[in-house]
Chain A
C-alpha cells in the first residue's frame, strides 16, 4: 500500500466500506458520497503504523464488530487496528492533528559509511537547526529544532516527533536532508525509508502530545 496515493486510498476505503455493509452515512445531494476524511495524507513511498480517518455512521454495533467487518475487507498491508467513538462536539481528525512521529531507517543498500548514532545525536543536540524554507514567493529561514519535540537514535535507526498539521508541518526528510548537509553530504531521495508511527493532538499549545486514538472511546 506504500505505492498507493492518497486519493486512491480514499477510493479504496469507500469501496471497502461498501463491501463491509457497515451503515456509513452518505451526504445529501445528487451525488451522495460517504462522509469520510483522513487525518493527514501520507506521501507515496512513506510507510505507516498509525493512520486515522473520521467517518460518520448512521448506526453501529460495537467497536469490535466494526474492526472485524472493515478489517475483513482490507487488502494485504492495511489493518484496521481500532475504532473509537468521538463526542458530537469533537474536532475532526484533520484539524486535531498537531504532531506526527516517524521512524527513519536506512534503505537496504544505502547504509552509512559513518557512525550514524553519534553524528545524528550531535546534530540534534545543537541549539538551533537552521534551514532555508523555500516557498513560491520567498526564502525564509526556519529553526527546525523548535518543531522537533522528541527524538531517539539507536544504531542506524532514528525516531522523531515533530509538529504536524495545517499550521506547521515538518516532514522527516527535511530533517535528514539538513543532517546530511551538516555533514557536507547529499541525502539521496532513496537513502531513507520513512515510517509514520503515530499522529498526535495537543489539548493546549504547550500541552503534551496525545495519540489521536485518545480522542474517542471504544463502544459496545
Chain B
C-alpha cells in the first residue's frame, strides 16, 4: 500500500479526506532513484478548485514528460486540516509521493486571482519553507509563480524567487535544464537566478530594485547585473496545435468544480473589451486545429471516463470551425451519453440551435454578459453588443422555449452616470417585454425569470482601464441600491431578480491588481491575523485586512481611487505583454470619448501583439 502523510485518525476526522491521499486515476508516479528534479505544482486554494484548472493539468503533464523531473500536485489544505497540521507540525506534502515539499527543488504556485495571496503564505508556512525569498538558501525549494496575476507580480514579489511571465509551454524545459546543469556543478542560488533571469519570460525579482518618488509612485527600476533584461517579454506558444496537451488528465475521487473534460479550442480573443485583462494578455488569437481537437476530445473522454466535455476559450463563437467541432461532438457524445457544455457563446441563431441539441431547454437558462445597461456605457467599454442584438437573441431564445435569462453587469465603470446605472434594470425590463410579446399566453409556463447580477468593476493592469479610478465601497453600495430602486419602478419588476456582490472584497482585489512591492508587508500582517481563503466569503475577514493596512502604514486608496497621470510609471511596466502602453492609452482615450474600436477580424488596431508573428492581423496581411 502507498504510504500516506496523514495518520488514519487525522484523515477520519477531517472533511473530504480524499483531497489529501493522491492515488487518483491517471496520476503520474516515477521511480525516485531516477529523479534529479522534484517539482511541486501548487494551486493555492482547496483541492476541488485547484483540480478544476486546465493550466495546471497542462503543466503537470508537460513537466512529467521531461526526463529526470517528477512533477507532483499540492493544494491548500482546508481550514480543518490546516489547524491540525500546525498543531502537530506536519509538513505540507505532495499528493503523489506524500513526501514533504520542503525537500523538493521547486515549488510552483499558480496565481489565478489576487485573493489567493494569503494562501501563498499558508502553503509556505505549512510546508515549513521560509516566507521571504531572501531568507531561503540553497537547502530550500525555489518558489516560482505564474499565471495571470504574475503580469503584476510586485505585491507578492518578495515571496517568490522566480516568476514565469506568459504561457508555460515554451521555457520550462530550458529553465529546468539550466537548474540541472547548476545541480551537477554544485547549485548556488544566486548564480542560478542570475543565469535564469536571462531566459526569455523569466523574472527574478530579487535581482531588481524599485526606486520611488516622494509621492510613492515609481521613479525607476535598477537591476543588479548588467546582462539581465530591463523588461520581460511574455512567452507565447505560437503553434497551439503542436504543443503539450494533457491527454490523460487526473480523475479526482471526489466531485470537483470542473468535473469534466476541458477542450481549449483557442487562445486569445479578437474582441477588445476595455475592462478585460485576459483579452489583452493572451493576444494574439491562436486557434487549435479542428481535427486535432476532435482527436483530443475522443482520447480524453476515453482516458478519464468523464460524462461531460466543455469547450474553453475567451469567446467560443469566434472560433472559425466551431460548427464543425460542435457537430462532431454532438454525434460522438450522443452515442456515449456524454453531456456537452458550451460556455462563452454569443447568443444567436446558431448558438440556440446547438444549445437546444445539447441541453434540456426547460431546465437551462440563457446567459448574456452585456456588462453595462446603457448603449453609451457599452461603447465606453467597447463591448460590441447592441441593444438590438440582445433583444433579438432573447426573442429567438423565447421562441425556442427558454424562459430563464441571466444577465451579468458591472457597476463602477469609468464615467458611469445614474442613467447608465438605471439602464441595467431597464434592459431586464425590455427583455421581459420581449418575452410577453413573443410567447402567446397559452404557451407560457409561468413567468419569465430574469436574473440581473452586478459585480464591481476593478481596473486591471494591461487594460485600457489601467488608468481608471476605482469606486469606493460606499459608491459601489450606493450604486447597487440605485439599481434596486430603479428595478422597483419597472413594469416587469416581478419577473426580475437582482444579485450583487459585496464591495469589500472588490476593494482589496483592486488594491492588489494594481499594487506594488509595498504590499507584501500588508499581506503578511493580514495572514498573521488569520486571513486565509479570502475568496471564500465565510473566511473573509475584512476588518483584519483594514488593520493590516493600518499597521503597515499603507493607504489602500493609493491603489484604488487615486487619479493616475498618463505618464505614470506603473509597477508592472517592466513586463511587456505584447500589447503596447501606447495602444492602451489610445484605447483609454477612445473610451473617454465613447468611441468604439472594431475587433481584430474587422480591422487591425496595431496593438503591438503582431510582433509575435501570428494572429489574425498577421494572417490577413500575408
A77–B23 touching, CB < 8 Å? yes
Q: Judge if A149 is at the interface, Cβ distance under 8 Å.
A: no
What is the CA–CA distance of A30 and B361 in the complex, to the nearest angstrom?
11
Residue interface mask B1-22, A partner, CB < 8 A = 1: 1100000110110000110010
- For residues 305 through 322 of chain B, which have their beta carbon under 8 Å from a beta carbon of chain A? 305-307
CB distance from B320 to the nearest CB of A (A): 31
Q: Which residues of A contact B24 (CB under 8 A)?
A: 75
Q: In whole angstroms, how far apart are the Cα atoms of A18 and B259 in the complex? A: 14
Q: B359's closest neighbor in chain A, by CB?
A: A30
The yes or no answer to B562 lying at the interface (CB within 8 A) is no
Q: How far, in angstroms, from A76 to B21 measured CA to CA in the complex?
A: 12
Residues of A within 8 Å of B, CB-based: how many? 28
Report yes or no: B307 in contact with A8, Cβ–Cβ below 8 A.
no
Q: Is A16 an interface residue (CB 8 A)?
A: yes
Mark out the residues of chain B between 287 and 321 whose CB falls within 8 Å of any chain A CB in the assembled complex.
301-307
Q: How far is the CA of A11 from the CA of B260 in the complex (A)?
A: 12
Given A4-B253, A77-B23, the answer on whether A190 and B9 have CB atoms closer than 8 Å is yes
Shortest Cβ gap from B538 to chain A (Å): 22
> In the bound complex, what is the Cα–Cα distance between A26 and B336 (angstroms)?
10
Q: Is the CB of A30 within 8 A of B360?
A: yes
Residues of B near A73 (CB, < 8 A) are 25, 305
User: Residue of B at shortest CB range from A34?
Assistant: B337
Q: Do A19 and B303 contact each other (CB < 8 Å), given the known contacts A8-B255, A11-B255?
A: yes
Report the separation of the CA atoms of residues A152 and B239 in the bound assembly, to the nearest whole angstrom: 67
Is B142 an interface residue, CB under 8 A from the partner? no
Nearest CB in chain A: distance from B161 CB, A: 34
Contacts A3-B21, A30-B360 hold; do A8 and B8 have CB atoms under 8 A apart?
no
The answer to the question of A32 belonging to the interface, with a C-beta cut-off of 8 Å to chain B, is yes
B428-463: CB near A (< 8 Å → 1, else 0) gives 000000000000000000000000000000000000
Q: What string of 1s and 0s marks CB contacts (under 8 Å) between B331-374 and chain A? A: 00000110000000000000000000000100000000000000
Tell yes or no: B618 within 8 A of A by CB. no
Q: Which listed residue, A11, A26, A77, touches B1 by the CB 8 Å rule?
A: A77
Nearest chain A residue, comparing its CB with the CB of B29: A76
* CB <8 Å contact, B302 and A19: yes
Against B, the Cβ 8 Å flags (1 = close, 0 = not) of A31-53 are: 11000000000001100000000
Contact yes or no, B307 A14, CB < 8 A:
yes
8 Å CB contact of A15 from B1, B11, B25 = B25
Q: A14-B307, A30-B360 are in contact. Are A76 and B18 (CB under 8 A)?
A: no
In the complex, the answer to whether B8 meets A12 with C-beta atoms within 8 Å is no
Report how many residues on chain B are interfacial, defined by Cβ distance under 8 Å: 26
List the A side residues contacting B32 at CB < 8 Å: none
Q: Is A167 an interface residue (CB 8 A)?
A: no
Known: A18-B305, A32-B337. A12 touches B253 (CB 8 A): yes
Neighbouring A residues of B337 by C-beta, 8 Å: 26, 32
B contact residues around A14 at 8 Å (CB): 305, 307
B255 contacts A15, C-beta separation under 8 Å: no
Is residue B211 within 8 Å, beta carbon to beta carbon, of the partner chain? no
Decide if A75 touches B23 in the complex (CB within 8 Å): yes
For the complex, give the distance between the alpha carbons of A3 and B253 in Å.
10
- Are A18 and B2 CB-contacts (below 8 A) given A4-B253, A190-B8? no
Contact check, B2 vs A76: say whether CB atoms are below 8 A apart: yes
* Contact B18 A3, beta carbon cutoff 8 Å: yes
Contacts of B301 in A (CB 8 A): 18
- B251 contacts partner chain A, Cβ-Cβ < 8 Å: yes
Nearest neighbor of B4 in chain A, beta-carbon distance = A3
- Report A-chain residues with C-beta under 8 Å of the C-beta of B9: 190
How far apart are A109's CB and chain B's nearest CB, in angstroms?
9
Q: Is B210 engaged at the interface, CB distance under 8 Å to the other chain? A: no
A14 to B304, CA, bound (A): 11
Counting CB contacts under 8 A, is B49 at the interface? no
Are A18 and B253 also in contact (CB < 8 A) when A73-B25, A76-B23, A77-B23 are?
Answer: no
Residues of B within 8 A of A (CB): 1-2, 8-9, 11-12, 17-18, 21, 23-25, 251, 253-255, 301-307, 336-337, 360
23 A-B pairs, CB-CB below 8 angstroms?
A3-B17, A3-B21, A4-B253, A5-B254, A8-B18, A8-B255, A15-B304, A16-B25, A16-B305, A17-B305, A18-B301, A18-B336, A19-B302, A31-B360, A44-B12, A44-B17, A45-B8, A73-B305, A75-B24, A75-B253, A77-B1, A107-B8, A190-B12
Interface contacts beyond A15-B307, A18-B301, A76-B1: sample of 17 additional A-B pairs, CB < 8 Å, sorted by A: A3-B11, A3-B17, A11-B255, A12-B253, A14-B305, A18-B305, A18-B306, A31-B360, A44-B12, A44-B17, A45-B8, A45-B11, A73-B305, A75-B23, A75-B25, A75-B253, A189-B12
